[in-house]
Amino acid sequence: MKNLNIKSLFAVGAMVALLGACTPEDADISLPTIEEASFTVEAGSSDNRFVLTNTTPNAFGTYWNVGNGYEKGTAQQEIFLPDVGTYDINLVSVTAGGIDTASVQQVVIDTPDPIAGNLIMGAKMDSDALDYWTIFNISGGVDFNLTDGKMLATGGGWGQSAMYQTVTVEAGYTYKFGASVSGSGATDTWLEVYFGTVQPTAGNDYSDGGNKIGLNTWNGCGNAPFSGNLANIGCSGDLVGQNGEITFANSGTYYLVIKSGGADLGTGGISIDNVELRRTQ
């Protein structure tokens, strides 16, 4: 799909406004009226796919919004929603009479696509993230808190805290892990990611399965301002240089653990967001 051409919509709106400002000399001449925008959402060719149809009468322009802003589309098209969540679907329709916006329709995805879907729940650290993530303190000084749509690890004093959730994977497949992390720069600090089979418990350090990818100021990352995908900017763990790709020796349930600690996690701490684990094949 192409990005929404704002200029083209403004041009249509300006044309309609200009026509509306004219006074027809012939009383029998009438200007087109704005058609009420409407659309339907129906099941598509497979699970997590839906067909959107612009049902606005006499429409010649279609702009869909499936959660990432309006984009120019076609009167009928199929969309793919691989991740669990509630999606607000909307339409801007253009007719000879002008532009109209339809009422929002919601699509609820309860099950991720088995290949493309994100296996991590509460991945975007929205207000319901703690329904899926469990925060546990290892030692005093560092805290994990959900703040403004991000998980923030703050503090220092050589303490540690972490969060975890379970994820079910299959052996023999390649998965790709990623997470958005940012911070102002830390001192003597680490952030590490584990996929273990032992359930974490409060008051106990976690290392089962070994660090897969992380920040480590002694290794040279995290000690200056940073922002990016941990899979790409991480400098410690087994997945360094692997673009986040990971395989599992055994099928089953693993504990995804993200922990952080150290002397000083920096002003504002370390933010964690957009955590993903997707099968690539």
**Can you give the residue ranges of every domain in the chain?**
2-109, 129-279
Q: Which of 106, 105, 104, 116 is nearest to 46 (CA)?
A: 116
Q: Which of 228, 213, 216 is nearest to 271 (CA)?
A: 228
Beta bridge partner(s), residue 273: 180
Q: Is the dihedral of CA 4, 126, 147, 136 positive or negative?
A: negative
pLDDT of residue 69: 82
Judge contact between 151 and 271, C-beta under 8 A: yes
Residues 82-109 have pLDDT tens digits of: 998 899 999 999 999 999 999 999 999 9
Superfamily grouping for domain 2-109: Immunoglobulins (2.60.40.10)
Judge contact between 235 and 136, C-beta under 8 A: no
First to last CA, the chain: 24
Residue 2 pLDDT > 90, yes or no?
Answer: no
Residues 110-166 have pLDDT tens digits of: 888 888 899 999 999 999 999 999 999 999 999 999 999 999 999 999 999 999 999
Beta bridge partner(s), residue 167: 254
Provide, rounded to the nearest whole percent, the portion of the chain with pLDDT above 70. 90
Report which DSSP code applies to 11: H
Judge contact between 180 and 162, C-beta under 8 A: no
Rounded to whole angstroms, how far apart are CA atoms 103 and 27?
Answer: 34
pLDDT band at 46 (very low <50, low <70, confident <90, very high): confident
3-state DSSP of 235-263: CECCCCCCCCEEECCCCEEEEEEEEEEEE
Q: Indicate the pTM of the whole model.
A: 0.75
Q: Which of 185, 156, 162 is nearest to 262 (CA)?
A: 156
Show Cβ contacts of residue 250 under 8 Å, excluding neighbours closer than 6 positions: 171
- Name which CATH class applies to 129-279: mainly beta
Judge contact between 250 and 170, C-beta under 8 A: no
Q: Is the dihedral of CA 147, 275, 209, 169 positive or negative?
A: positive
